[in-house]
Amino acid sequence: AILSQAAYAPGTRRLFSGHSDAVLSVAYSADGRFVLSGSTDKTLRLWDAATGQERQRLRGLEANLWSVALSRDGRFAIASAVDTLVHMWDLQSGQELRRLSGHAGEVTSAAFSPDGRFVLSGSTDKTLRLWDAATGQELRRFSGHAEGVWAVTFSPDGRFVLSGSDDASLRLWDVVTGAELRRFEGHATRVLALAFSPDRRYALSGSWDETVRLWDVATGAELRRFESHDGSVTSVAFSPDGQLVASASANIVHIWEASSGKELERFREHRDEVFDLAFSPDGRFVLSGSRDGTLRQWELSDGAELRRFVGHTSWIRGVALSRDGRTAVSGAWDWTLRTWDLASGQQLRQLEGHSDGVEAVALSPDGRRILSGSDDADLRLWDLESGQELRRLSGHESYVWDVAFSPDGRLALSSSEDRTLRLWDLESGQELRRFTGHTAGAESIAFSPDGRLILSGGADATLRLWDVATGKELRQLTGHSNTVNSVAWSPDGTLALSGSADGTARLWDVERAVDLQRFPKQAGPVLFVAFSPNGQTALFASSLSTLALWDVTTGRELRRFDTNGALIYSAAFSADGRNILAGMTDATLRLWRIDTAEALLSYVREQRYLPELSCPQRERYRLLPLCTAGAAATE
């Protein structure tokens, strides 16, 4: 557990070294494959984001630059410079293409419009200017700031621009007319950094006053303040989904939750001031550039996360994996099922038909059909390949909480809030048998591996064992003090797992109806349990946003996965036991790796740039290079 947590913990994944002076500005290409940096060594450099290798060096600057940007199509780069110019390069040839001339002071910031047709610049001459990227002609001038402009950015739709100034204000402008639309006031001094949220509703600003502020673009009202910085805020950014905020101050990269203002991470491996940062297009990384001459790529999530699947618009309640490991299925409260290509993360199909939230999904043993259960009280059978609904199974009187295929794929099983389990013939759609006995909702079900028995868990705090052929209840497994949310059989059919709202997970001897292992009590309800394919480990998800692997024999926690605050109601092991797919309440699915110790060490060698000693450690051991006084003070 210690090795995996150390290997996969958020932090530096890549170090980009080569600049001989401070890195003032950084940017990702739109596809995330490349990184652009600009330095006071008067070069721009293009790097491979995956390897950290320098791909291209752009020269031609005779004066220091302030900022760099990449066009969305990746063909052009620009730099704003002290020499009053915006310089543009053709990345295919590496040649400087044109210079945008007109400002009467240093050009402190420049940006491409989202469609790449225009360039925006801000200057110490107190103006913003809009340029035709193809011709270099000045198209419009924005005047109104009382002091120099230090930051400019386009809105995501390209209709508006935002500027920040030495006059301590932000201003919103109409691109077409050049009119000032709104003024945002509250900072005590220079506004150095700006960002729009992806939906254009909010703006971020960072200032010399050591604060980051969140603004309502429509009203100009300040909504939130992100404080506890150790110096001037030099850069701010929104994550692509708008859920995170990044800020740079002193030698620290701060990561915040946008909705609450809660600080989530502090990355402090740079040895000197951080000047700029950017989120990768997929939101997994933040890139930073520093006075120490390096760029660093920080991974924000658990490094064990292989892929994230985005498409659902509400909580995901059910997931399933095909045995060949190629396809995933999910069901959510947005009333849809979705199928996914596991290798690429692409959505294959959206299955619609339920008239309420989907609570559970299952894949047939042959991988050709999907079964779903919904709050609309129906089960539906679907064709995986075409996405067509094959059959509707109706009869339950309330929510269908769980569904399962029999091992031979001929039968379907369902459990419901109506306190019953029902067995269905999939060929005819007929209800074959009803299992009654639970005194409250039947929450979870599982067929034994041989298909002869059924295990169920209920809101009456019991597990019950049933005979499939007769419908007879064989025994009760008691001990939980609250709803049994999830049950699972071991691969050999001798043991069972249960997870309960009482905060406990238990391992049972099914034949003797006794619990063999009580895993350490969780701080909240256990929402989901599963056995690994070899039966040696158990997977638990709890309501405190934890997903963990446990040793079945010893009851020891082996591994914990970072869920970023989202809950998990359903998860699945891959058939080879090497991966876990989980459905989250943040509407994403996430795929994690489960590595052996050897694989973990290999990952560390290949992927992780190990942290350097802190500034106090360098001072203590007199290791060069020492940090600056300012950076050391922040450690």
Q: Which amino acid is at 38?
A: G
Q: What percent of the chain is modeled with pLDDT above 70?
A: 91
pLDDT in tens, 237-283: 999 999 899 999 999 999 999 989 999 888 888 889 999 999 999 88
Domain containing residue 417: CATH number: 2.130.10.10
Instruction: Provide long-range contacts, Cβ within 8 A and 24+ apart, for 330-337.
Output: 330/361, 330/583, 330/589, 331/358, 331/359, 331/360, 331/361, 331/372, 331/374, 332/357, 332/358, 332/583, 332/587, 333/357, 333/358, 334/587, 335/374, 336/312, 337/361, 337/370, 337/372, 337/382
Please give the distance of CA 274 from its chain centroid, rounded to a whole number.
24
Average pLDDT, the chain: 91
Check residue 630 and give its pLDDT.
45
Residue 627 domain flag: no
Check residue 635 and give its pLDDT.
40
Task: Order the strands of the 65-70 sheet from edge to edge.
Answer: 65-70, 76-81, 85-90, 96-101
Tell me, yes or no, whether 311 and 276 share the same domain.
no
Check residue 604 and give its pLDDT.
52
Check residue 544 and give its pLDDT.
77
> Residue 36: pLDDT above 80?
yes
Residue 319 domain flag: yes
Q: Which amino acid is at 357?
A: G
Tell me, yes or no, whether 13 and 91 share the same domain.
yes
pLDDT in tens, 497-527: 999 999 999 999 999 999 999 999 988 999 9
Token pair listed for 378: 């129906």
Tell me, yes or no, whether 188 and 270 share the same domain.
yes
Tell me, yes or no, whether 546 and 585 share the same domain.
yes
- Residue-by-residue DSSP string for 443-461: EEEEE-TTSSEEEEEETTS
Tell me, yes or no, whether 20 and 157 share the same domain.
yes
Number of domains comprising the chain: 2
Residue 466 domain flag: yes
Helix (H) and strand (E) counts for the chain?
4, 56
Examine the fold and report which residue of 299, 323, 347 is the final residue of a domain before the chain moves on. Answer: 299
Residue 626 domain flag: no
Tell me, yes or no, whether 466 and 486 share the same domain.
yes
pLDDT tier, 204 (very low <50, low <70, confident <90, very high otherwise): very high
Domain residue limits at 585: 305-603
User: Per-residue pLDDT averaged across 194-223, rounded?
Assistant: 97
Tell me, yes or no, whether 249 and 325 share the same domain.
no
